[in-house]
Each structure stands twice: as C-alpha cells, then as structure tokens.
Structure 1
Amino acid sequence: MKKFVGTSLVSVLLTLSFASSVALANESDRFLVEVLNKENEPIIESVHKDEVEELTDAKVLQPDYIRKIALQAGTWQAKSWGPAHIGADKLIERTRELEGIVIVAVIDTGVDTNHPFLRDRLVAGYDVLDKDSDPMDEHFHGTHMAGIIADTTPANVKIMPVRAVDKEGRGYDNHIAEGIRYAVDHGADIINMSFVGEEYSTYLADAIGYALEHNVVVVVASGNESIDTSPLYPAGEQKVIVVGASDRNDRIADFSNTGASIDIAAPGVDILSSVPGGSFKSYSGTSTATPFVSAVAAMLKLEDPTRTVLDIDRLLKKYTIDRGAAGWDPQFGEGILNLSTYDEKVTREILSPPMNVSSDTKSFPSQEGVPLNKSWRVTFDRALTQGDKVDIRINRSGKDVPIVTETKANEIIVTPIRKFFPHSNYQLLLFVENGGQYEMKFRTGE
C-alpha cells in the first residue's frame, strides 16, 4: 500500500467492523442525471445544463466533469529511448513466445487503426462518442499512447482502442466511465488512462471500482501542472496506479504532479511514438509515462495470467530505481520503473513473502461467521500522517489474498478484491513501523 510522510506511529488502536488542498474548478456544461426509461427503470444520462430544468422527474447526481489529456510538446528525438531505459528488453524476451495474449485498453482519443506500426497490434475497439466500432483517432494523443505500448511489449500484447476523448482532447466522465466498462466487459486486462481533471467523481470512481473488482489493472497519469494530486481525479485515486514522469537523467520532470497518490515514475520527456498518418513525433508529459507502466503491467500479466491487481502493483513497485528521498516519496513514488534486475525467483518471493510474525505479535479476538464480502475498518488512535508506514495483509493458507485499501484521516478500510471462500480460515496481519505487530484470525460463513 502507499506510504505516508511524517512521524512514525508509536501506538495503535484496532477496531474491526463493517466498512460502510483546495480543489480546482472543473467547468462542465453537462450534468449526470437519473431518469426513468421506457420500462420505468432508473438509468443515468448526461444532459446539457440548459436542459436540466426541463427534466421534471430527473434526479441530478453530479456535474459530468471533463478530463483532459496530459501531454505537451517535446523535443524531436531520432529514436525511442524509453523501453531501453527501463530495461524492458529482458521481460520482452521472456514473454515473447508465451501462449495467449494480454489486452491493454487505451481509453483516449482513439487510435489510427491504419498506422503501419500499430495495425497488427490491435484488437476490436469501440467509439463511445459515435457509438460504433470505428475508434479512429481524430486528435493524435491515443495513437501516441498506443505506440509506446507497442514499442515496449512483444506482439502477444494487444491494444484495444476505446475512443472516449474528443478531437480537442476533452473527455466527459459519462463517456470515460462507459469506455471503462466496455473495456472490462470485452476482455481488457490493463486499462491505460493518460488524462487528468479536477474534482472527484463518484460516477467515474464507480467505473474504476468495476474494473478493479474484475481484476483489471488501472494505470493513470498524475498530470502536468506541477501541483499536488489531491484535488485531481483520477490522479488522486489511491486504488489505481498513478504515474509521474522522469527524464533521461532520472530526474522528475518539472511539470510532473506530485503527492500522496504517486506510485511510480517512468520516462515522460521527449518520447518518440506513433501519430496518425503513419508518422512519428516526440511529446512529453505524464501521459507518455503512463503507457510504459501499462506495458510492463501487461508483460507481467502475460508471464502469469493468474496474477491479481495486487500482484502486479507489488511487482511494479519492486522493480524500480529509488530516486529522491529514500524509499517512497511524493515525487517518484517507489522510484523509476526499471526491469534490468528482473528475476523469476525474486518475483516469486515478492508475491509470496515470509510472514515473519514475531512471538510478541499482539492478537485480537478471533471472529466467526464472517461474510464473504467483509470489509475491515482499522482505526488508529490519531490521524495518519504522510510518513507513517503501515502494512496490512490478509492471509489464507500461508499466502496473501488480494485486497484493496482505502486510507482516511485515522483509519484504513480493507476490502477483498474477490469474495472470501466460504467456511475458510483467514488471518489479518497489521505491521506498524515503531508501533508493533497485530493479528486477528477469522473464519468465514456461508
């Protein structure tokens, strides 16, 4: 899970129960409303603000916020430098001959499906804006993102173009959420979203949650405004992989956003990739850093299709070069993505680390009949700060099970990605730096 920066926890109170910066203006001209269809069933539609008053029976849910691509001009490069810089060659060779495919959905402005560099790497996609199966890129951004993925992976990693952002580089939450659900329902393993916007969106968060619930890795750009990610979305989302941009010298790009949500950094300055019309061009931005991470996530999934969202997250963060402050920091996250030391044996150890439960571990009363979708609320005796280091795991038969954690002021909510097995024994483990170790055993019911 993400680390917090400040003082370490000295004491902790644990309770277990069911879980139930200044924002920037996001000027949207549309609202999401709940209306009844012909079958008298509630559905959600996007309506222009001038039409809202005419809908007498509609329930206004939230503005249909706008997200924008996270890209800026770069200096011309004669050749691609990113894949070699992150040591991708070793993993490309390992996965090139493996059976099956992994699909990366690029939710963006579409892709030039006729581009010679891309046309053999694509699977069927969708145009959310025009409601058809021709997601042709009318901008260039999506084609550039797809090219980075193709350049960093073997041919058995395929790209699903989903056009949800218009030719001006603007995408409404309504369209983006539809694109996410389309990608999940049509076999995507990874979702790349190289855009950012202001304001938290429940509607978009629900779509991201839908992807995570279906074990689809979601990778997003941190943004290019040199600001904190906390008022941004999805860049401020703790549940996804948030990517910052670095340069050839492994320095954080001066435009790259920073903050508590940052997970990892990747090359994002002067990145050469495909653009519509069969040509290539260099651009910079956290937009271009994000597909490097999506590409590596795809190869990790290709190597072992059983890997979960949590497995991929752990491996990405393990294979990094630490830059900035030691350990996690709000600029680089865990560090700059680098696979030069990738080793299959080490990878197995990362995914099945020893529990190292010491003899002085404090135990809480065991629980029986726990629901299969149970969330645990871990409450601390004070508000968490950004330097507190906390590791929470749920273990079954000696192996970690995939979980999602949500951090609030003084608590962490722990939820299984998939339902627990019925009538099974589990162990919740809590490790707090300078604060001790705790465990709680529980058994599920029906």
Structure 2
Amino acid sequence: MSFEYSQKTLDLMARLNAFMDEHIYPNEGRFLAEVAEGDRWQPTQIIETMKDKAKAAGLWNLFLPESEHGAGLTNLEYAPLCEIMGRVLWAPEVFNCSAPDTGNMEVLARYGTEAQKEKWLKPLLNGEIRSCFAMTEPEVASSDATNIASSIVRDGDEYVINGRKWWSSGANDPRCKIFIFMGKTDPDNPSRHSQQSMILVPRDTPGVTVLRHLPVFGYDDAPHGHAEIVFDNARVPVTNMLLGEGRGFEIAQGRLGPGRIHHCMRLIGLAERALEKMCKRTLSRVAFGKPVAAQTVTLERIAESRILIDQARLLTLKAAFMMDTVGNKIAAKEIAMIKVAAPNMACQVIDWAIQAHGGGGVTDDFGLSYAYAQARTLRLADGPDEVHRNAIGKMELSKYVARDQLQAYVASSRVSRS
C-alpha cells in the first residue's frame, strides 16, 4: 500500500498552493467584508472573479474522477488537493469543488439521463448555478434514513412531492436552481431500502417554499446557508426521476461515500491551519516570563495536534486508496472510520488553538470559532458519529460470528434495553 503522490498530483499541488498564496489567503478579509455588506445572501464578487482565474489556471472540477468533465483524478490523487482547499472554508467554491455541489454533480454524472445532464449537470460543471441536497427531515430521526417520510406520488405524467426538509445546504443561495430530493415512492414495500427514491426538483417549482435559514452556533454561513424547506404538492415531470423508483438508497450510497471522505480531506486542511495559527500565536505571546509556546502544556498540545492530524491523514489516504482499488462497498468500514476520526480530531485541534489565543480565540478575529462550528457540524452531517460507530462495531464483530448470529445478538440487545 503506497501513498506516494503521483507526479500529476504533485504538479497540481504546487499550482494549487501558488494559487492559494496569490489569491485566497490575501483575500480572506475581503471575502468577509463583502458578505457583511448589504444583502448577505448575494454571491460575493471576489469568489466570482476568482472562479475565472481558477478555470484559467486549470484548477477546476478537480473532484470529479471522470476525465470527460473533471481532472480525471483518483480519490487518492485528489486527497491532498482537497486538503489544501480546506484550509480556507470558502476556498473550495473557487475551484467548483464545494459541497453539496460536488456530490450532486457526481449523482448527475453517474445516474442522470442525457437530458438531465444537459439541463443541470452542464451549468453546475461550469459554475453557473448551484444546487441543494434535500434529505434530512425535522419530524423524524434522519440518522436512520429509512425514517424519511416525505412522499413522491405519481400522478399521470407528473410526480407530486410533499414533505418538510431541513439542513438543506445551499438552498438560501440565489444561484441555487435545483434540489435533489429524497422521499418515499413505495412506503409499503417490504424492503425498507426500496421504499425511497430521488428526484430532481427545480428551485422555482410552485409549492416549494424556503422557510428560513438555520444558523450554526450563530453563524448563518451566508451566502451559502442551510435551510428549512416545505414541499407542498410540488409537481415535477416524471422525467425528473433519478435512475428509477425505489433506487434512492442506491444513489445515496454512491453519493455519500465520496462526499464523506471529501469532508474529511477538507477537515485535515482546516486542522492544519488551526495548528499553524496556534504555533504562531504561542511563539509571539509571553506569559509568566517566557513564550506561551515554551509552556509544557502548550508543547504537549502542539505535539498531540501533530499526531492527531497525521493519524487522520493516513487513515483518510487508506480509505481513499481502498475506494480506488476495491470500491466503496468494501471500503465502507474505512470510510466510516475516517468520518468519525476526522471531525473529532479537527474539533480537538481547533479547540486547543482557541485556548492558545485566549479571549481572541472565541472572537471572529482569527477565524477559529467559525472553524470550530464547521468541524462540530460534521460530527452530525452525512451520518452522526454514533451511526458510524455502530456500523464499524458490527463489521468488526462480523469477523467472529456469523451474520445471522450477529443480527440476532443486536436484536436481543435492543429488546433488553427496552
């Protein structure tokens, strides 16, 4: 198992780092200032300008493995690039590599019809529009996706959609033109994993109402945002169905594997930036007669941060390697492991960085409080820690007991707990 980066990746890393140095880091303050001016939900001029520069530099759609549309990179080749972009929370959008668009573009590229690709994938690939993934619901525990209660009912040449969604990232953005909506087309199907479907719902469909944005620890994440949405008898053509009725879980698994590991890659970059800030801050501040960096507790936290980041990176690279070589299904345990490890690692490293900055750490002056809010959210997004840990535990136990015995054991433990 070799994690040595290919020459193609090394070249892209050098170009991407140069772009970040020239265009991204110097404009972090300008981005915040533009968001704060006027309508916070309007796109920023700085990002729109940088998109053209990224295209010209050949740093566009790096996430997409299909060479026809993207850079043709494997997951292992993309990992260090995604990490570099993750050092600044808004940077991935500059390169058209931001969630949820990356996952939605992969869904359309893999499962969309030619007509769906022409209408929605093409403008997404060009960065002309943005998109939203509408899956989680406020009325049910959406950590168990089979609970999803929204309905998709066929009526002649149309589907009628009803339901309430929330944490639908990107729906507040005026550039958002299309939702990928998950709901039940066959609620009575004996197979709970065959009840769901995914369908394309244009943002301007009558009956679609964005109720509010949902702040995270007080941050609205404008102009991107996360929304609560009502779908009230919204009608779309039957041609908007993705792949076919009852195949929603199949699509979800194809989408969430890469999406989860992309989040982890970006978090490693975010944690690296926090460690960098912690080191610089503690070297420049003196307390009790010596630099804060010389205090034993600080040295321990810096050392532990280095260990945690490198551990998470190696586990992420292993998961990426397995996704490339044996496929997402066999790599399910490694994907689940990194989805637990990376957000927890980032939360800890950022927390130590906040502590090292004293009162300044909890302000917006150093970007650490916002970084923590983002990292903490990812212990819930794309499946909470508890769900992934349960899956990992079951996969580990399956080495020692037969599948039917394991299922019986889990079922009996549920009864005893009740």
TM range (shorter): under 0.3
**TM score, norm. by length of structure 2:** 0.27
Give 1 or 2: higher strand fraction. 1
